[in-house]
Structures are given as structure tokens and as C-alpha cells.
Structure 1
Amino acid sequence: MDLLPEIHGPIGVFDSGYGGLTILDEIRRAMPRYDYIYLGDNARAPYGTRSFEIVYKFTLEAVVRLFEEGCPLVILACNTASAKALRSIQQNDLPILAFDRRVLGVIRPTVEVIGNMTKTRKIGVLGTLGTIQSESYPLEIKKLYPDIEVYSEPCPMWVPLIENNEHNSPGADYFVKLYIDRLMNQCSQIDTVILGCTHYPILLEKIKKYLPSGVQAVAQGEWVARSLSDYFKRHPEMDERCTKQGTCRFYTTESEAKFIDAASLFLHEKLDVRHITLG
């Protein structure tokens, strides 16, 4: 029996919206030689309030499209997709659809480093409603660090503020302080806070402003990039299948012009954007 030829191509990076660009930016900074395709399902965003079934359906459609574009590896640069769809895709779909491809998420890399950051062993998680309701962070943290207590707070207004370019407004200050106060009121001993949404680094300075002194905020991009680099060291066969011409293409399910305008909050470069449809 003839074996199928190995797929060689770019690394796929998927998000429901624009926040995954913060992950892409850190990955490209750490690994600039690789080729990338970023796919934003902007027309159907946000995913944060959608059901598990819909998030899974939409995420799988995006993963399949990136596979069709030749990606041997796809990063779900979206906490909601990582929380609600990653495990099902890895366990149920990949063995049937593409046994030789891989799909990775953003939750596990962040969780892996948190144990070395907290001294009080009490941490907070700020995220979308979908990510918080999934309890993915508490479940993953308990697997690695049973002694850590996790307190979570949904921040439903943060993504709309960012995507409507209102993140520098007084209203943004109000909502940043509101959700941080709600989190800290759950436990005053929290010393480390995970920003469990890839949009949130845009608000990082405001978040630091309203966090109590001595409480650190953990953005995901750096740790996802480090984790991917480590993954390639452990899996050189996958590293060899990722092409390295230093290119980056952007796909959106919304209009190209709208994507370029919104993406300027996250990336400062001329973008090659193409409109696609999913589903």
C-alpha cells in the first residue's frame, strides 16, 4: 500500500476575530523564518457567547480550510475555541480527517508556566463568558497544580471595546476596573492573573493600572510562542514539514478593508488579506 505524501506548508493560526493576531505577532517574533496563514472568522465573531456545539462546528470548519490550504499544523489562537473545540478535534476528527496533521491550543501553554509564577497559590482568570463557563483553566490547572486555587471572572465588555476601537476611552477604564475589582473581591490573596483572551493584551496597560500592587498579569502570546518552539524541538518531523520562506497571508470571512482597519490595532505592517467563506 502506498503511503500518502507528507504535507509541507505554512503554520495555520486561527481565531474567531482579531485577538489571535497578538498570538501570531509573538510567534512570528520568535520564529520569523516560518510561513504563516492567519484565518479570522470575523463575520461570525464573537465566539465567546456561543454554545459548545456552534463553536466546535465553526472551529472545525476553519481547521479544515487551513488543512486545505496546506497547513500541517494549526494553532487555535482563541481561548474559546481552545476551550470548547480543541479536545474534540484532536480526539475525534484528526484520526479520521487528517491523522498526519496537528492542532494545538493556547490554554495549556499558559497553564504550564503558571505554577512557577504564583507564590500564594491563588490565581485569577479573566476571559470571555464562553471560556469562563467552560472551566477549562481551572480543570487544566488542577491537573498540573492541584494545590492552586483558581478564581474566574467573565469580562463581556472587553472584546467589544477593543474591536470598536474604544479601548482608550474612559468607558474602557470603567469596565477594566469593574471586572478586576469583581475578581479581586473573590479573593484578596490572588497574586497572578491570567488574561484568558487573546484580545486582552491590547488592554494590558489599563489592566496593570487597576490590578493591586504586587499582582502580575500574564498575557499568553510569549508563552504560546515558547511552547511552539519547544514543540518543534520535541517533534522535528513536524518542524521539517513547516515551510520557511518568511511569508504571512491573512484570510478573513469579513471584508478585506474592515479586517485591515481593525488589524491595525494589533499589527503595524501592510497586510495581504483575502476574503474567504466557511461553512
Structure 2
Amino acid sequence: MGSVLVFGASGQLGQCLAYVAQARGTAGLVFLPEAQANILHLEGLAGLFAQHQPAYVINCAAYTAVDKAEDELDLARKINCDGVGNLARLCGEYGTVLIQISTDFVFAGTGNQPLTETDETAPISAYGLTKLEGEQVIPSLTERYFTLRTSWLYSEFAGNFVKTMQKLGRERDELRVIWDQVGTPTYAIDLAGVILGIIESGSTAYGLYHYSNEGLTSWYDFATAIFELSGIAVKTTPIRTSEYPTKATRPPFSVMDKTKIKATLGVAIPHWRESLKVCVERLAAVQ
């Protein structure tokens, strides 16, 4: 296997990939933080491809500030679409396999059934729109790609909902958490393992896949589980989305169907509570 370039390596998923690669003894990964490898600079990217001749590229670089994107659509589009296009173009030229990370926010989330890869996309936020545009630019530039849509990422690394809830739960007597948005939390360590598994398998079943942990929950029930597993006693009150207005609209139901990735790539997926327990235990060990 040739080298694997990881773009956006300083973010949450990039750090999880480094952790899992080290734990598994996976060699050949080159971690490129944004300061070293800007996906908007095509000339610099071309130099990296020429230097490393990568067999795979994992793109963890993204504009993920969901609310800010409403005011910064052009910047979000540059990173989430144009930058992805730059990587896809070079992957096509070099015969490199691109692994792109996308999101459940490409859906409107107005239904109540798990969403498949063939369901209609209809993003209701600038962030979701630009991530969908990034998905759509890839197939015209390379046939060798895996696009993985995921949701509600958390881990021991970087800022995320689990760490925020633990902090607030220890600081406050009461928290109000939204209960009418339903989805699936995804342990980024699990996602990192799936990504490395795809590379190690050498699969050529290219295309679009959904990956999150199993099960479904609301943000309120997710927060309650975090407090239970963390031993944090805080009163938690469920509220409607309308009681906590945000600039960007979130999909109310974004549970994704994982049948395709399980059947095609043989991926085993743990339930979200099992993975949350692992994460909380690891956080406790380092605190």
C-alpha cells in the first residue's frame, strides 16, 4: 500500500485517525494540518501529490461552523466544494482513491424513516448545501472515491457535544436541551476505524455510503446518557427547537440507514450507547 495523505489532520476526525492508526500499528499515513496543506491552494496540493504519490487521500478538512456558514456561504462553499474539487481532480490524475467525509445535513429531515443513500437530498442550511455540493463535484473528476456521510460526531478529541455537556453539567444546576431533533451520535474513533478498514481491505466498491453508530436518539436523551455515564447530577429539561433559535435550521430527523455499508463493505457497527460508554471511560482516564 502506498502512502495515505490525511488533510485537515488537526481536527477531531484527523486526531482520531492518528489515534486509531497508532493503536492498530497502521503505517504510511501522512497527517497534514491546515497550516501545512490548504485544500484551496491547488499548486501546493499538486506538490504534495507529486512528492508522496498517495494511494489514498482522506479529506477531513471542512468548514463545519453550521450557524456561521449562514453568513459566510462563499467561504463555506470554497472549503466544502471547491477544496474538495481540487483534491478530487488530483486524485483522478494520480489514480488515488479519495475518501471524503460528508454529513446528514444534506437532508431536510422532514420524514420519519431512516435515510438511504438514494433518498432525495434537500439541505436546509448553508452548511448542508455546501457539503452536498462537495459530494456532487467528485464523480465528474474521479471514479475512485468513497464518500461517507456521518452524523453527530464526538470523541475525546477537539470540541464536541459530549465534552461540552460534561463541562456544563459540572458547572450548572440545570440544563435545557432540545428533544425534537432526532439522529444518531457517532463516535469518531469508530468512524476512523471504518476508514482505515476500507483502506486495509483494498475495496473497489466505490461510491456513497452512510455511516453512524446504530440506534437513534434526541439531543436531550443523548445529554441524559452522557450525564448518567459520567456520574454527573444535573437537572435536564427537554425543550423544543423553537425555544432555542439558531441562525441555521437543523434537520429534525436525520437518522441514516447503514444497510449498504454493512452489506457491501462488511462493516460491523456498535450501538451509540456502547460507543458513548467507551468514550466517557477514556475521558475519565485522562481527566
TM-score bin (small chain): 0.3 to 0.5
Higher helix proportion, which one?
A: 1
TM-score, scaled to structure 1? 0.39
- Using CA pairs below 8 Å that are at least 6 residues apart, which structure has the higher relative contact order? 1
TM-score, scaled to structure 2? 0.38
